[in-house]
Amino acid sequence: MAVSNSNLAIGYVIQKYSSATTSVRVRLLGKNQTSFANPNLRALGDSQAVGPGTLAAAATTTLTAASAAIQVGVPTAAQDVVLPAVGVSKGLTFWIVNNSAGANTYTVKNAGGSTIVSVAQNKRAVVFCDGAAWYGILTA
């Protein structure tokens, strides 16, 4: 069935079957889903800009609730990335990407200065907030 207003669509067809088949496979989308975004990732920090943002190479980067979800940097020395306060961060997710050619690390800290994760050369991390604390996951 065609929908005249794309805002009313609840998904899109991912596989079509012959007309004799009664089953249809669809992928459901969130209320604010856009057609170009990956539906599997968009729910993370749903109100955040997709990005990427740029992390400072030679200074501390302080993120805000309005910062892009994906943050990429090439540090020239060890640098800090400071996350927003948990009180304004419930549901936020940041992907921190360290593309350093040298052994330089991004240390991701909460607003109080406690380390959440340290992202080494050519590694990635995902940090997320539940409204009470920040948590981090590092790539292998």
**116 and 73 in a common domain:** yes
Annotate 29-48 with DSSP letters as a single string: --TT--TTS-TTTTTTTTTS
Provide the number of structural domains found in the chain.
2
**1 and 70 in a common domain:** no
Other Cβ atoms less than 10 A from the Cβ of 119: the count is 28
**85 and 34 in a common domain:** no
Residue with token string 């927003």: 84
CA-CA distance, 27 to 100, in Å (whole number)? 37
**30 and 62 in a common domain:** no
> What residues make up the domain containing 37?
1-41
**32 and 69 in a common domain:** no
Residue 10 lies in a domain: yes
Which pLDDT score is estimated for 40?
A: 43
Residue 47 lies in a domain: no
Which pLDDT score is estimated for 33?
A: 44
**87 and 115 in a common domain:** yes
Structure tokens at 55: 């992390």
**60 and 116 in a common domain:** yes
CA-CA distance, 78 to 104, in Å (whole number)? 5
Residue 46 lies in a domain: no
Who contacts 94 (Cβ-Cβ below 8 Å, separation ≥6)? 45, 63, 67, 69, 70, 71, 83, 108, 126, 127, 128
**29 and 74 in a common domain:** no
**89 and 22 in a common domain:** no
Residue 114 lies in a domain: yes
CB 84 within 8 A of CB 111: yes
Residue 134 lies in a domain: yes
Which pLDDT score is estimated for 53?
A: 87
**86 and 26 in a common domain:** no
pLDDT in tens, the chain (140 residues): 555 655 555 555 555 556 655 555 555 555 444 444 444 444 445 567 766 889 999 999 999 998 999 999 999 999 999 999 999 999 899 999 999 999 999 999 999 999 999 999 999 999 999 999 999 999 87
CA-CA distance, 115 to 33, in Å (whole number)? 33
